[in-house]
Amino acid sequence: ETRVGVLALQGDVREHLAVLRELGAEGIPVRRPSELDEVAGLIIPGGESSVIDKLSRLFGMAEPIKARIAAGMPVYGTCAGLIMLADTVLDAIGGQESFGGLDVAVRRNAFGNQNDSFETDIAIPELGEVPVHAVFIRAPVVESVGEKATVLASLADGRVVAVEQGNLLGTSFHPEVTGEHRFHERFLQKVRSLA
C-alpha cells in the first residue's frame, strides 16, 4: 500500500488520519522534511492557515512542500488546507503566504461573522448520485478560478467551494468530520495512479 501523509503542524490532523485508516490506506503525520520524503501524497488539514504557514516556514517544510507540489505530488487541502494550496490568498493576515499550486484566488473567512459555520448538501455529480453533506467552519471561498483549475462544486448561489487541478484537490468544507469519504478516495486514486 502507498503511504500518504497528513501535514501535522496545526489543525484537524487526527480526523484525516482516521478517514485514511477507514479507507485502508496507510497515513502518517508529517512534521519534518524527512517524513515528507517518505510519502507519495499529502493532505493539508483544516485549522488556521496563517499558523500552518508560519509553522511550515519555521520547521523548514514550506520549500520542500512547494517542490513536491511542483513535481506532481497529489495533495488534498480542506479549508485552511485549500487556502495553503491557492496561488492567491485574499484577506490574508499580515505577511501570510501559501504553498500555491492551484490556479485560484481564495478569500479567507468569506462567509463573515453572521454565518461563521453552517452545513448544507451539495450535488456533485462527478462523485456520484448522493449529495455531499458539507460542513463549513470559518470557511474560505474560491473567488476566482484560473484556466488551469476546474470547479468541482459550487453552492446554489454560485460560490465555488471545491476545485481540482491535476493532482491537486481542494475543498472549502471538511469531509473529514462528516464521514464523507469520496474526496479522500479521489485523492488516493491520484496517489495510486502514480505508484
Report the binding-site residues.
47-49, 108, 137-138
Distance CA 152, CA 8 (A): 26
Q: Is 170 in the site for ligand GLN (CB under 6 A)?
A: no
Distance CA 65, CA 7 (A): 10
Q: Is 109 in the site for ligand GLN (CB under 6 A)?
A: yes
Residues annotated within the binding site for L-glutamine are 47-49, 108, 137-138
Strands (E), the chain: 3-7, 26-30, 42-44, 75-78, 86-90, 102-107, 117-122, 132-137, 141-145, 150-154, 160-165, 168-171
Q: Is 134 in the site for ligand GLN (CB under 6 A)?
A: no
3-class DSSP state of 190: helix
Which one, 3 or 155, has the nearer CB to ligand GLN?
Answer: 155
Active-site residue flag, 174? yes
In sequence order, what are the residues at sequence separation of 6 or more whose Cβ sits closer than 8 angstroms to the Cβ of residue 100?
66, 69, 85, 86, 87
Number of residues that bind ligand GLN (CB under 6 A): 11
Which one of the spans 58-66, 78-86, 158-166, 176-184 is the region binding ligand GLN (CB under 6 A)? 78-86
Active-site residue flag, 16? no
Catalytic hit among 1, 15, 63, 79: 79
For ligand GLN, the binding residue among 46, 100, 170, 175 (CB under 6 A) is 46
Whether 191 contacts 78, CB under 8 Å: no
Catalytic hit among 16, 164, 176, 180: 176
Q: Contact positions toward ligand GLN, by CB under 6 A?
A: 46-49, 79-80, 83, 108-109, 137-138
Residues catalogued as catalytic? 79, 174, 176
